[in-house]
Amino acid sequence: MSAPRQAPFLGETTWARRFETPLREFLRTETGSAAVLLAATLAALVWANVDLPSYEGLWRTSLSVRLGDAGISQDLRHWVNNGLMTLFFLVVGLEARREFDMGELRDRRRLVLPVAAGVGGMLVPIAIYLALNAGEPSAHGWGAAMSTDTAFAMGVLALVASRFPARARTYILTVTVVDDLVALCVIAIFYSERVRVPALLAAIAIFVAMLLLKYRARVRNGLMVAGFGVAAWAALQASGVEPVVIGLAMGLLTYASPATRGDLERASDLFRLFREQPTAELARSASAGVAKAVSPNHRLQQLYHPWTSYVIVPLFALANAGIAIDGGFVARALTSPVTLGIMAAYIAGKPAGIVGATWLVTRLSRGRVRPPVGWAAIAGGGTIAGIGFTVSLLIATLAFDGERLEEAKFGILAAALCASVITWVISRVTAGLPAALRARVLYGTAESIVDLAFPVDPDRDHLRGPLEAPVTVVEYGDFECPYCGLAEPVVRELLAGHGDVRYVWRHLPLHDVHPSAQLAAEASEAAALQGAFWEMHDALLEHQGRLLLPHLVGYAESIGLDLDRFRRDLKEHSGAARIAEDVDSADLSGVSGTPTFFVNGRRHHGAYDIATLSASVRAARARAALVS
């Protein structure tokens, strides 16, 4: 272990670029789109109440698409509901697969809890709705009382319960993904028209052919896959099965994976060839190499998620949320079993189902399976799941028509408003609790997933800060990486502001983009052999543009090292094996770029400005105190 040494702080905290993950991008997009979705909903209500004939007239306008003698003809509302919404469910499927491959569900033991909560959060509302509609023809509409709107719920949760930990949103997001998967199965099985078997078999054959081309023949042409998807959608439309399920299926089959260092290095080599000889052929090769480094799941989310969040879902709301409201309608709706059933299902059934199923699994497993957050966060997530907008409206349009459809829409909108208010109340009550109790009910006592493959070893790692600190921040860095230089003063401020944090530097020299990084790393290890790792570390990050051998010798002289020994250690590559161990540990931890931070073994995603890192440290400290 190299001795921790104090060094002067290097200037002011600098905000640096964000290292995003699909989940954080997903949550941020949903949060921003919630305002657009709300605006579209209000616009539909205003339009329907000002001029209902023009509202209905527009959405009942027929639109036909024909190719020879074959074609599809339906009104604009149906084109939105079972056409554009296919892309929405594609994004839902992509996010479900991403969570399974890279998110909380990559630990398969954690799959049982959100699945149970998702199913419980649907069965209880269905039971409540059926109890209030027993013996009525409206009982057929039970599907409209079970599904959470992921976009609206996540956006409103961020607005009314900002104090909840990020993992609460992650957990509820996982629950709602299960919710969406089950809802799509319900639509396909219970709310499809009379199934025409030849068309259904044709859709299955097209989908299987697409899978064979994609996975057996290794065809990666996006336009070809999209063409198969459109053909399968058209066949499902002709079969009477709701065609939106094809979007979900394609999303679930699109794998997600982090960019590997090998793929990034190959992309760098291709770009370097293009830089040396900028031809059209090399430009295509470089572009393909860069695209290949990012998983298809992430690429498709980047492409479609903003469109679904900011255009398609708001357009769906505009087409379906418009109802004419007056005193007579409200009086009728408030006595209608459809409205009351939907409201009771969402306001009471959703939180009861989610919290109850989570508690039951925790109890039956004797605590071996526990939620990743505390019970107040689970309760708030359960109440916000009472926002059942998009899929609920979609099923309502399939199950009802006329007055019953209007009553169902009213119940869905009223339940969404009540769910938002109740969640806000839970958030405010939780904020007023004593600090220790608040931490427990928000963060819980479950062990966190550990992403760091090699735990910190005080006898080996380079440490700064108290040896027995409850919070450990590990950075994989490169002395020539400009973003590591920007992060350095942030790390210093973090250590100064939190006396119970220790900091670890591990090497990840990116040879393909930083030619002097390996030599600089070896210089720091040569200094470590003389007990001066941190002095050299600081000098290297302060002079990132001057990392050639004469510069390194100059830094060694300025910090008082034995220059003959320093030169000998550099010449013999004395630190190369140690650096290689760090690189191997980075690969096993899924690290491909710098700087990458881990807080108490869990990978830190997002910005590395002082506010964001401090928030991660506070959360880690609270969790460490609860599980100790």
User: Which two structure tokens, joined as six digits, stand for 164?
Assistant: 């909840």
Question: Residue 597: beta bridge partners?
Answer: 475
Query: How far is 482 from 510, CA to CA, in rounded Å?
Result: 12
Query: How far is 538 from 561, CA to CA, in rounded Å?
Result: 15
Select from 142, 245, 240 the least CA-distant residue to 194: 240
Q: Which residue has the higher pLDDT, 194 or 97?
A: 97
pLDDT in tens, 91-123: 878 887 887 777 666 666 667 888 899 899 999
Average pLDDT over all residues of the chain: 82
Residue 278: Cβ-neighbour burial (10 angstroms; 0-12, 13-18, 19+): exposed
Using pLDDT thresholds of 50, 70 and 90, give the confidence band for residue 6: very low
- Residues 335-341 have a mean pLDDT of 94
Q: How many CB atoms lie within 10 A of CB 280?
A: 8
Q: For residue 438, what pLDDT is reported?
A: 81
Beta carbons of 495 and 13 less than 8 angstroms apart: no
User: Which two structure tokens, joined as six digits, stand for 472?
Assistant: 């450990």
Q: Which residue has the higher pLDDT, 26 or 365?
A: 365
Is a pLDDT exceeding 50 seen at residue 21?
A: no
Is a pLDDT exceeding 60 seen at residue 553?
A: yes
Q: For residue 411, what pLDDT is reported?
A: 94
Beta carbons of 297 and 303 less than 8 angstroms apart: no
Q: For residue 449, what pLDDT is reported?
A: 63
User: Which two structure tokens, joined as six digits, stand for 295?
Assistant: 């998983």
Q: Which residue has the higher pLDDT, 93 or 449?
A: 93
Query: How far is 485 from 491, CA to CA, in rounded Å?
Result: 10
> Locate tokens 């290890």: which residue?
525
Q: Of the given ranges (49-63, 155-169, 175-189, 240-254), which has the lowest mean pLDDT?
A: 155-169
User: Residue 170 carries which side chain, given as an amino acid letter?
Assistant: T
Is a pLDDT exceeding 80 seen at residue 288?
A: no
Select from 147, 149, 235, 140 the least CA-distant residue to 191: 140
pTM check: above 0.75 = no
Query: How far is 164 from 377, CA to CA, in rounded Å?
Result: 6
**% pLDDT > 90, the chain:** 29
How many angstroms separate the first and last alpha carbons of the chain? 26
Beta carbons of 250 and 90 less than 8 angstroms apart: yes
- 322-333 CB burial, b ≥16 within 10 A, e <16: bbebeeeeeeeb
pLDDT in tens, 196-237: 888 888 988 998 888 888 776 666 667 788 888 889 998 888
- Residues 373-400 have a mean pLDDT of 88
Is a pLDDT exceeding 70 seen at residue 134?
A: yes
- Residues 380-407 have a mean pLDDT of 88
